[in-house]
Structure 1
Amino acid sequence: MPASDQGVHLPRYKVIPRTLIFLVHGEEILLIRGAPTKRLWANRYNGLGGHVEHGEDPLSAAKRELREEAGVENVRLHGIGVLMVDVQADTGVCIFVFRGEVREKFSWQSEEGTLEWVSWKDVQKLPLVEDLPQILPRVLAWQQGDPPFWAISRYENEQLMVHFHSEEGDSSLLRS
């Protein structure tokens, strides 16, 4: 279908595609502590990831981000969820969430921040980016063969709300 038939018009809702990647080793998860010089999320913990660039699919973008942010290649990634982030009435962010298992831990530092392996039981004690307390339980509980999660987040009365839906039709509303 040509671009003219794709329904891309200025007043329509548009999204910026991004990836969010979590690597697991046993009972530990790899997070990046944002560099103190970062404009957003300085000294806060997040998964790895970034923008899906023009011409990339989400999985290729996730693998590129792993190379750039962790120096890692050849990790099998599983798409485990999609999070829509409402930013404005006509703009949002679509985050493709991935999880991978690694056999050996590694360390890496970049201008983005420092990678740290964190025990699952200690992760909620860290200064996490705002939506991670809601996302991480789904990431950690995921097992191969599970359906992906579907979620949307937005601010309501100055509080981040994350609404999850499952394939079975149930939903839950969480507050950060």
Structure 2
Amino acid sequence: MSLPGQQVQAGRYSVLPRCLSFLLCEEQVLLIRIAEGRGPWSGLLNGIGGHIERGEDPRGAALREIKEETGLILSPSSLYLSGVVTVDVGNSPGIGLYIFVGEIEVSETHSSCEGTPEWIDLEDFDKQTLVEDLPALLPRAIKSYHNKQPYCAVTTFAEDGSPSIHFNP
């Protein structure tokens, strides 16, 4: 693979890489309540994650985000790539979302400027105030983790802004 063959063509659809992680401990999942003043998701629960920085691989970015947002330090082998979702926001660039799942034994975390980590019972997670795609993404990510079969999906948005996720097993 040579650099000249990797050039981005102007006008082609592109995506910004992001990561999202779900950490399991017994029958709970670690989510983060987005801090007030952090945009339209303020006050909602989401997985742990963010942008993949230049030079980072998706798992390395997920590990960094977990450390920054929760204080937890995990080994690379503790995270499993559960899925990849292309988020079509209606223009370019879209979002390329790498979803990871891992199991941990420690449950002590700390807050950050991003928000406050909260352990949520898996049986009750859908009763929480969640970022709107989480009720579809989290169960699918956990299923993929247990089956060891990653999935792919595309998220599109209706005119009213509501997401629709199209899974490809």
Fold shared, TM-score > 0.5 on shorter chain? yes
Structure-2 separation of matches of 1:157 and 1:86: 13
Please report how far the alpha carbon of residue 130 of structure 1 lies from its aligned counterpart in structure 2 after TM superposition: 1.5
Amino acid in the other structure paired with 1:107: T
SS of 1:88's partner is coil
Structure 1 residues 113-136: Cα deviation after superposition (integer angstroms, max 9, x where no partner): 100000011110111112111101
Structure-2 separation of matches of 1:164 and 1:145: 16
Structure-2 separation of matches of 1:54 and 1:40: 26
Please report how far the alpha carbon of residue 145 of structure 1 lies from its aligned counterpart in structure 2 after TM superposition: 4.8
Equivalent of residue 149 in structure 2, options 147, 150, 169: 147
Equivalent of residue 165 in structure 1, options 151, 165, 168: 168
Q: CA RMSD in A?
A: 1.4
Q: Provide the residue aligned with 2:20 in structure 1.
A: 20
Please report how far the alpha carbon of residue 7 of structure 1 lies from its aligned counterpart in structure 2 after TM superposition: 4.4
Matched, 1:50 2:50: yes
Amino acid in the other structure paired with 1:47: G
Equivalent of residue 123 in structure 1, options 117, 122, 125: 125
Larger relative contact order (C-alpha < 8 A, sep ≥ 6)?
2
Amino acid in the other structure paired with 1:72: L
Amino acid in the other structure paired with 1:163: H
Q: Larger strand proportion, structure 1 or 2?
A: 1
SS of 1:31's partner is strand
Structure 1 residues 47-100: Cα deviation after superposition (integer angstroms, max 9, x where no partner): 001111001110111111111111111241000100110013332100100011
Distance 1:117 1:161, change over 3 A: same
Matched, 1:132 2:129: no
Please report how far the alpha carbon of residue 105 of structure 1 lies from its aligned counterpart in structure 2 after TM superposition: 1.0
Report which stretch shifted further, 16-25 or 37-46.
37-46
Amino acid in the other structure paired with 2:165: V
Aligned length: 166
Please tell me whether the aligned partners of residues 79 and 100 of structure 2 are also in contact (alpha carbons under 8 angstroms). Answer: yes
Amino acid in the other structure paired with 2:125: V
Structure 1 residues 12-60: Cα deviation after superposition (integer angstroms, max 9, x where no partner): 0100000000100011000000111212310000000111100111011
SS of 2:89's partner is strand
Amino acid in the other structure paired with 1:17: P
Please report how far the alpha carbon of residue 144 of structure 1 lies from its aligned counterpart in structure 2 after TM superposition: 4.2
Equivalent of residue 105 in structure 2, options 103, 111, 118: 103
Q: Provide the residue aligned with 1:82 in structure 2.
A: 84
Structure-2 separation of matches of 1:143 and 1:97: 10
